[in-house]
Amino acid sequence: MDRLIQANGQPHFGIFLQAVGEVNYRDFDFRSPMGRPRGALAKWRRFHQFQYFGLISDQLIGGCALANLSLAGIGFVYLFHPASGRMIERQFKLPLGIGTRFSQHPNSGVCELRSGKNLLRLENHGSEKRLSVELDDGTRIEAAFNELEPAFQPMCLNTPTATDGWVYAQKVAGVRCQGSVQSALGRFDLAAIDAFAHHDWSAGYMRPETFWNWACLSGQAGGQRVGLNLSCGVNETSFTENCFWLDGELIKVDTVRFSYDRNNEMAAWRIQSFDGQVDLHFEARGLHKERLNLGFIASNFKQIFGQFRGELRPNGRPALVIDGLWGFVEDQYVKW
């Protein structure tokens, strides 16, 4: 599919076999809940986009995100060293997104944030995704993966939200990653430490006030490459993004329930799918969080990294035991 928005101004909805060529949101017939056409300013103000690249291994955990919230450009990057518990993290907030650029082509283009001598850059070139980070403290990250080496089926979907919006999402987890990291935590060759990557490209007209949970893991279990992407709160209208991957094969999962204590961010989580294919426990080991409340924009964001244990039970196949694989869960409230 070349373009997400059709000639009549309406989006294509569904789960797609491959990424769309362009999220052409400016062609969307954006209307109020009462049917009144909205102008260019509202169309710009309400469109939000973000991209995330994560690194997972026993020796190093990392994450980098960029977000275009129209009134602000936001970015963060962190590195966590499980053996020592040490962590490096930086956050950037740029009014009106000055110093950022975002492509609306999920598999073609560059998204980046520049602030002084700091650069966060995410490049998408077909099946290849690349992360580059340069910080003024000497931290350097160069990481990349290719969905074709070996073959991998991403999760690509577009769902309606509220009465007047939609969200396009493109997810990858359970792919091996190459590159290097240099920081105060040490030097790491990502291939040598058997690092895995996951990637999220999302954009659209999300609910003005929303909340979600998310879980992701990547690694090797039972002789297979395993990836997991589960969410609750954003993409459940008609379709869900919930799935896991075994050696690159996408296996769809039904709706999921996240059980946890919102007031104790390092307490254990339980994650179960309605169809019984996922039954996991999560034990927290570290945390990246941000709080922002400017009235018209607010966020309470917790991304927790740790280890999963339990089972994946693909229909008609033996259960796969997950025992200590690293990954993430997320607890996010946002008003935008």
Q: One-letter amino acid identity for 299?
A: S
Domain boundaries, the chain: 14-335
- Per-residue pLDDT of 299-329, as tens digits, reads 999 999 999 999 999 999 999 999 999 999 9
- 321 and 283 in contact (C-beta within 8 Å)? no
- Per-residue pLDDT of 187-203, as tens digits, reads 999 999 999 999 999 99
Hey, what are 281's tokens? 């426990």
Q: How confident is the model at residue 223 (pLDDT cuts 50, 70, 90)?
A: very high
- Reference 229, options 274, 270, 172, 281; nearest CA is 172
- The mean pLDDT value for 168-196 works out to 97
Does pTM top 0.85 for this prediction?
A: yes
The secondary structure of 236-279 as a DSSP string is -SS----EEEETTEEEE---EEEE--TT-TTS-EEEEETTSSEE
Q: Which residue has the higher pLDDT, 307 or 234?
A: 307
- Reference 119, options 75, 179, 185, 85; nearest CA is 75
- 283 and 268 in contact (C-beta within 8 Å)? yes
Give yes or no for residue 234 having a pLDDT over 90. Answer: no
